[in-house]
């Protein structure tokens, strides 16, 4: 599935049918917020060393435990995202939730800018986490509802691409400016997200769900670049789906109504947690510190195994350097090279997988609930690991911490090549449900 994302990004360029241009111009403003949250996530890498120096806004240097809280509280704040979006989504829609993520995002930059003590910094990180959690729970869902099947994977890749651009900006600007310079830059860039989100339309699905058929038709015409008559079959399909699946309000118990739904939820939750347990936030939050200490077309299976090898290599390097005291100066480039490879593989390989699977494996009635649960578990796993990573490294050696990450990647590789993870590329929703339920098995699960 995701192995074709890079190819699709190329295909929707100059050779692409112009009717996809509105999809792309809609998706880019929606995903721009992930650039801002990516910058807030990468903010800790250059800022933590500055908090120990003379340019710190704090009266005294923070301890290791306090620095761990500064890093991990963003991930803890991410837990608030699904708790906000899931209850509100049926009432306010995807567009207003994306717009609403501006509030905690800007609040975080404001608090970081005026911070003179750790509690204020903690509050800023939690606010950024809430914004990030709201976007992770809503933007992939938004993309899945506006994009045609042929370009859904490519548009989903834009979301993670913008996150990585945000990290890159934090890494590139932070070392060459002060604490306040980096924070002001992030705040200014986030201000642009406010007008950008006004430009995006509500999804046709939500408009049909609310009975706004004419508006849904107009949005579909713009998204597909065709006449009213040509979008009529798709519009009628949305109406039929809403009438069929929303006879009653969605309930949490709908997620285990069939064995296929239970299996889909387990797959998405496991992969979402694996994203964090593979060490992505640890590496991104503490990039500068880790480098000081240790001196393209990718499938999910290939991505996880290579990511695991990369983590293992960094672990070996750190063991030789910090424990056995070998002279590794002649190969000091290895950690940086490994981290670059890791980031590329994560973005093009396993990174988008859980969120694309949520869009493909669940019916419209339970898609929002499933996305919220997967996002919640993703942030929960991320909080535990980012909070205790540095303490594990301090107590047992940083090489041990990296080997734990490598083992998690290995577990993800074994899962991705097993029969538990179905191939969804090119299949309709009905075919995917048949695979999950093994065709004949659609009986309810006794709970």
Largest separation between any pair of C-alpha atoms in the chain: 72
Asked whether 186 and 84 are in contact (CB, 8 A), the reply is no
Say if CB 302 and CB 349 are below 8 A apart.
yes
What's the confidence (pLDDT) of residue 181?
92
Report long-range pairs for 61-65 (Cβ below 8 Å, ≥24 apart). Answer: 62/118, 64/390, 64/391, 64/394, 65/391
- State whether residue 361 is helix, strand or coil: helix
Residue 217, token pair as written in the block: 């038709």
Q: Tokens for 369?
A: 């609930």
- Confidence (pLDDT) at 441: 42
Tokens 């923070």 found at: 62
Per-residue pLDDT of the chain (447 residues; tens, 9 = 90+): 444 443 344 343 444 444 555 556 666 777 788 888 888 988 888 888 889 888 889 999 898 888 888 888 888 898 888 888 888 888 888 889 998 999 999 999 999 999 999 999 999 999 999 998 898 888 878 887 887 766 666 666 677 778 777 877 887 788 788 899 999 999 999 998 888 888 888 888 899 988 899 998 998 888 878 888 888 888 888 888 888 877 777 777 777 777 888 888 888 888 888 877 777 777 666 665 555 555 534 444 444 444 445 545 555 655 565 555 666 666 666 666 766 676 666 666 667 778 778 877 887 778 878 888 888 888 888 888 777 777 777 778 777 877 887 888 788 878 877 777 777 776 767 777 778 777 544 444 343
**Is 203:145 a contact under the CB 8 Å cutoff?**
yes
- Among the listed residues 368, 287, 296, the one whose alpha carbon sits nearest the alpha carbon of residue 335: 287
Neighbours of 236 (CB within 10 A): 12
- What are the residues whose beta carbons fall under 8 Å from the beta carbon of 161, sequence distance 6 or more? 31, 347
Given a contact cutoff of 8 angstroms between Cβ atoms, the answer to whether 261 and 255 are in contact is yes
Q: What is the DSSP string of 292-332?
A: HH------HHHHHHHHHHHHHHHHHHHIIIIIS----GGGT
| Whole-number Å distance between alpha carbons of 280 and 271 | 13
CATH number listed for the domain at residues 2-200+248-437: 1.20.1250.20
- pLDDT of amino acid 5: 44
Torsion of CA 321, 322, 324, 325, to 10 degrees: 60
- Tokens 């064995």 — which residue? 259
Within a 10 A sphere around the Cβ of 297, how many other Cβ atoms? 12
List phi, psi (to 5°) of 440.
-80, -15
**Distances from the Cα of 386 to the Cα of 110, 284, 320, 417, 420, angstroms:** 24, 10, 24, 28, 28
What's the residue count for the chain?
447
Which are the contacts of 63, defined by CB distance < 8 A and separation ≥ 6? none
Q: Is 363 left (phi over 0), alpha (psi -120 to 50) or beta?
A: beta
């Amino acid at each position: 599935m995701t192995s074709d994302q890079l190819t699709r990004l190329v295909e929707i360029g100059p050779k692409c049918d112009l009717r996809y241009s509105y999809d792309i111009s809609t998706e880019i403003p929606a995903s721009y917020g992930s650039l801002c949250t990516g910058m807030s996530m990468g903010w800790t890498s250059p800022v933590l060393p500055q908090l120990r120096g003379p340019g710190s806004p704090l009266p005294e240097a923070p301890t290791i435990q306090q620095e761990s809280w500064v890093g991990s509280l963003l991930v803890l704040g991410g837990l608030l995202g699904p708790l906000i979006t899931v209850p509100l989504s049926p009432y306010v829609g995807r567009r207003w939730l994306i717009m609403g993520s501006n509030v905690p995002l800007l609040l975080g930059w404001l608090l970081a800018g005026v911070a003179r003590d750790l509690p204020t910094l903690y509050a800023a990180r939690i606010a950024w986490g809430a914004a990030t959690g709201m976007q992770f729970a809503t933007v992939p869902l938004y993309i899945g509802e506006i994009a045609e099947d042929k370009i859904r994977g490519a548009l989903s890749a834009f979301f993670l691409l913008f996150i990585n651009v945000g990290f890159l900006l934090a890494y590139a600007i932070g070392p060459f400016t002060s604490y306040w310079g980096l924070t002001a830059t992030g705040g200014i860039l986030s201000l642009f997200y406010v007008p950008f989100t006004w430009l995006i339309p509500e999804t046709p699905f939500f408009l049909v769900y609310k009975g706004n058929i004419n508006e849904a038709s107009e949005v579909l015409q713009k998204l597909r670049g065709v006449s009213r008559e040509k979008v009529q079959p798709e519009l009628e399909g949305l109406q039929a789906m809403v009438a069929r699946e929303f006879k009653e309000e969605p309930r949490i118990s709908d997620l285990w109504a069939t064995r296929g739904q239970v299996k889909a939820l387990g797959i998405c939750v496991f992969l979402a947690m694996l994203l964090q347990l593979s060490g992505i936030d640890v590496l991104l939050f503490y990039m500068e510190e880790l480098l000081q200490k240790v001196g393209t077309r990718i499938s999910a299976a290939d991505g996880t195994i290579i990511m695991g090898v990369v983590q293992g290599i960094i672990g070996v390097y750190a063991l030789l350097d910090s424990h056995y005291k070998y002279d590794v100066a002649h190969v000091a480039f290895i950690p940086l090279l490994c981290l670059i490879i890791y980031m590329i593989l994560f973005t093009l390989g396993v990174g988008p997988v859980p969120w694309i699977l949520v869009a493909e494996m669940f019916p419209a009635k339970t898609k929002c609930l499933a996305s919220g649960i997967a996002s919640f578990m993703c942030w929960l796993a991320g909080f535990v690991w980012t909070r205790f990573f540095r303490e594990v490294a301090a107590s047992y050696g940083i090489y041990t911490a990296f080997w734990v990450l490598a083992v998690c990647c290995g577990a993800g590789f074994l899962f991705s090549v097993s029969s538990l993870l179905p191939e969804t590329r090119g299949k309709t929703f009905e075919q995917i449900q048949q695979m999950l339920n093994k065709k004949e098995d659609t009986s309810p699960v006794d709970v």
